[in-house]
Amino acid sequence: MLLSILYIIGITAEAMTGALSAGRRKMDWFGVMLVASATAIGGGTVRDILLGHYPLGWVENPHFLAITCIAGIITTGLARWIIKLKGLFIRLDALGLIVFSIIGTKVAMGMGLHALICIVSALVTGVFGGLLRDLICRQTPLVLHEELYASVAIIASGLYLTLLEFGVHDVTATISTLVIGYLIRMAAVRFKWRLPSFHLEGEGSVH
């Protein structure tokens, strides 16, 4: 129930960030709705396709899709105002990331899959929306360069699985994961925590 409300807040916020990317590419309203929806529910869609988990969430509940399309269009009118709320959106995005990770973990657990695949499921749910947005808008995928993001999805999923493993009640595990995951993500943004990155110069290639 809590998770459902947070999920709707999460997809709305993600849809708005997607719409802003579409605006930077001067897309029309259809493009705005497409990028908004791909950003918000693309991660869950890729997860369900990879796991063979049909029907997809938004096929069963078309109102999720309606929400992301409407959030995208509203963003076109409020863009200047939304950009000023950068701090709020970073917080909502952090919250969305943890909510998506918990939902991804639950879906894979419900299918009886290996713990490693539960974590991958969380990762895909949390990260692939943003990847799709950046692919469609032809910009360098942020998640592959910036502060800890994918790692936070992995940590959140691992924490949630561990708590359940130790017999913690689902509600307690969910709330603990939400709080701790959110704080880790916000700390990563504030202190610019990053994974090591791999720079390879020159034309060296094995192809």
Interface residues toward a copy of itself, by CB under 8 A = 16-17, 19-20, 22-32, 34, 45, 49-52, 54-56, 59, 62, 65-66, 76, 79, 82-83, 85-86, 89-90, 93, 113-114, 116-117, 120, 135-136, 138, 140-146, 149-151, 194-200, 204-207
Closest to a copy of itself by CB, 3 vs 141, is 141
Q: Compare residues 132 and 174 and give the one whose CB is closer to a copy of itself.
A: 132
Q: How far is the CB of 142 from a copy of itself (least distance, A)?
A: 6
Complex with a copy of itself: residue 51 or 174, whichever CB lies closer: 51
In this structure, how many other beta carbons lie within 10 angstroms of the beta carbon of residue 28? 10
Please identify, using beta-carbon distances, which residue of 113 and 186 lies nearer to a copy of itself.
113
| Shortest CB 157 distance to a copy of itself, Å | 14
3-state secondary structure of 173: helix
Contacts of 199 (CB under 8 A, 6+ apart): none
Residue 82 CB, shortest distance to a copy of itself, in Å, is 7
Map tokens 């689902």 to a residue: 170
> What is the distance between the alpha carbons of residues 169 and 176, in angstroms, rounded to a whole number?
11
Minimum CB separation of residue 46 from a copy of itself in Å reads 10
CB 51 within 8 A of CB 113: yes
| CA nearest neighbour of 127 among 22, 38, 26 | 38
Q: Distance between CA atoms of 164 and 108, rounded to whole angstroms?
A: 14
